[in-house]
Structure 1
Amino acid sequence: MVKVGLQLYTVRDDLEKDFEGTIAKLAALGYQGVEFAGFYGRTSTQINELLKKHNLEVVGSHTQYTELLEDAQSLIDYNKEIGNRYIIVPFLSDEHRKNWPDIFANLRKLGELCNQNDVVLLYHNHEFEFTEKLGEHTVFDAMYEEVPASLLQVELDSCWVQYGGYDPIEYIQKYAGRLPIVHWKDFKRTDKGAQTVELGEGEVPVAAIADATEKAGAEWLVVEQDSCLQPPLQSIEQSMNWVKSYGAKSGKVSV
């Protein structure tokens, strides 16, 4: 069964106020792992102790592209110290996206360094990889054609695939075998774009995504809300309640 984790960006404000207490709360809700988006000044020893205390696994770590270009080795070393195998590029700025060939070349180099250190490089998409094209291909598909699977794996954000105009189920199937992590996220369309909501409250077929993720052999489904309309700890509890209900019916996820 697929394990269920939380992208900690969802509770970033709570982590700033009470890092240890927030980790304890999400563990108590039933999340099995955490995907980091920064370490809030904690040492690797402190992170290890906290994860062990609450029986949490490390799903992966969102690690900024610019920081990886500046000093990938020290970032890899830190992540290995906390037992993390997946280094994930989470986002690319408008400036960087002016030159996709350079990005692909840099991802190759970073992937090679990760391989040398027995960790895995992944890329996390937003919608622009689907709305921007390189020739006949979306940037997303062009990236994974240009950079081989041995150097770059997929973290598919199913919400942004759908918002970008494509079918997330088809993309899960397409990249099966190269897809260790799927972001499990829902949204509603607004006049300003997309408002992320709790699982089951929006337009994303979240149950079907979980089914497809399990069939694709992925390791993790990672719950995330970029922004919440209620306190984030309430949002992640509501989403976990949906997950438990889905898991009890389907047997597809481990909760």
Structure 2
Amino acid sequence: MQISAELFPILDYFKLNPQETLFKLKQSGFSGIELYGDPIFPANELKNMIQNSGLKISGYQVPWRLMQNGGLQNVIQYQQELGNQHIIIAALGGPWESGHKVNENTIDTWERHVKRIDEMNQTLRKINLDLTYHTHDYDFGEKVEGLKTSYEILVQEVSSTVNFEIDTGNCLEGGLIPQKEIRRMHDRVPFIHCKPLSKSKGYEIDFDDNQDENNWAEIVEAAKISGTKYLVIEPEATELGDSMDLMIEGFNCLKKYL
């Protein structure tokens, strides 16, 4: 099991000086980078920068909209040129209204998403790519039409070959225990987003602070048992200082438990 850096918290650094950002992560001990969002660079250019840094791509969070209405083939071409095997659905629903509007958050809507996820998964598996769903707090904590959460719907209904990226902070915020969900999902959690959370301070909390609700020792142990490939560092604090420093702090915290 290795430690990867989620690009989103340091996206501003990356856009300003991508190669320097990647070198900094490698020098700090990271072995992987999880990419995020709309492509910023041509695939070959980005691939060369990552290879030059010595990092590996642990996965790519792709916006749902890019994979719809015929866009999946463009995503496939980009990811294959990039050399990435692991495609992660960045989000569905939520405040971003990814895939559907807030007033469309129904069981029927999620059933349609299940069907589309399975269709994409079948297409990807035929060419040796895999599909993962990244979880958010509402997935765990909000019951759709008062019946069941989107997380429950997806776990129960999508193909068993679709993976889940458990986000520890989001899981806690949604009222569940991340290490329990990691064990429950067993071999379907290749990536875990590691995010500190405090009941009183929310995401404005340092890794391993005594108010951090994450039990990192238990989370890492559950990840080992479940065959997780990467712990992905993703702090969401915006008021605690430099975002790169927070990433490195997260690496140093999790490294102690490996």
Global fold match (TM > 0.5)? yes
Match of 2:149 among 138, 160, 164: 138
SS at match of 1:175: helix
TM-score with structure 1 setting the length: 0.89
Partner residue, 1:56: 55
Residues in 1 aligned to 2:40 and 2:61: alpha-carbon distance in whole angstroms = 15
Residues in 2 aligned to 1:227 and 1:112: alpha-carbon distance in whole angstroms = 37
Residues in 2 aligned to 1:8 and 1:156: alpha-carbon distance in whole angstroms = 17
Alignment check: 8 A CA contact 1:157 1:182 kept: yes
Partner residue, 1:106: 116
Alignment check: 8 A CA contact 1:198 1:236 kept: no
Match of 1:157 among 155, 162, 167: 167
SS at match of 2:34: strand
SS at match of 1:186: coil
Deviation at 1:36, TM superposition (A): 0.3
Deviation per residue, 1:178-210 (Å, 9 max, x gap): 11111111112347xx32533212221122211
Deviation per residue, 1:66-101 (Å, 9 max, x gap): 111130111122112222111111112344234211
Residues in 1 aligned to 2:231 and 2:203: alpha-carbon distance in whole angstroms = 20
Partner residue, 1:123: 133
Q: Does structure 1 residue 180 correspond to structure 2 residue 190?
A: yes
* 1:216 alignment partner AA: S
Alignment check: 8 A CA contact 1:158 1:183 kept: yes
Deviation per residue, 1:88-122 (Å, 9 max, x gap): 11112344234211111111111111112210111
Deviation at 1:12, TM superposition (A): 1.1
Deviation at 1:40, TM superposition (A): 5.3
Number of residue pairs the alignment of both structures matches: 243
Residues in 1 aligned to 2:33 and 2:151: alpha-carbon distance in whole angstroms = 25
Residues in 2 aligned to 1:62 and 1:234: alpha-carbon distance in whole angstroms = 22
Deviation at 1:226, TM superposition (A): 2.6
SS at match of 1:176: helix
SS at match of 1:75: helix
1:114/1:91 CA distance change after superposition, 3 Å: same
Q: Does structure 1 residue 148 correspond to structure 2 residue 159?
A: yes
Residues in 1 aligned to 2:226 and 2:2: alpha-carbon distance in whole angstroms = 13
Residues in 2 aligned to 1:59 and 1:139: alpha-carbon distance in whole angstroms = 25
Partner residue, 2:213: 203
Alignment check: 8 A CA contact 2:140 2:175 kept: yes
Counting only pairs closer than 5 Å after superposition, residues 24-63 of structure 1 correspond to structure 2 as 24-38=23-37, 41-63=40-62
1:190/1:17 CA distance change after superposition, 3 Å: farther
Residues in 2 aligned to 1:52 and 1:215: alpha-carbon distance in whole angstroms = 30
1:47/1:200 CA distance change after superposition, 3 Å: same
Question: Looking at both structures, which has the greater relative contact order when contacts are Cα pairs under 8 Å and sequence separation is at least 6?
Answer: 1
Partner residue, 1:75: 75
Alignment check: 8 A CA contact 1:125 1:160 kept: yes
SS at match of 1:235: helix
Counting only pairs closer than 5 Å after superposition, residues 80-91 of structure 1 correspond to structure 2 as 80-91=80-91
Residues in 2 aligned to 1:40 and 1:233: alpha-carbon distance in whole angstroms = 21
Q: Does structure 1 residue 216 correspond to structure 2 residue 215?
A: no
% identical aligned pairs:
23
Deviation per residue, 1:151-191 (Å, 9 max, x gap): x1111112111111111111011000111111111112347
TM-score with structure 2 setting the length: 0.88
Alignment check: 8 A CA contact 1:177 1:217 kept: yes
Quick check: which one's strand share is greater?
A: 1
5+ residue gaps, structure 2: none
SS at match of 2:20: helix
1:217/1:242 CA distance change after superposition, 3 Å: same
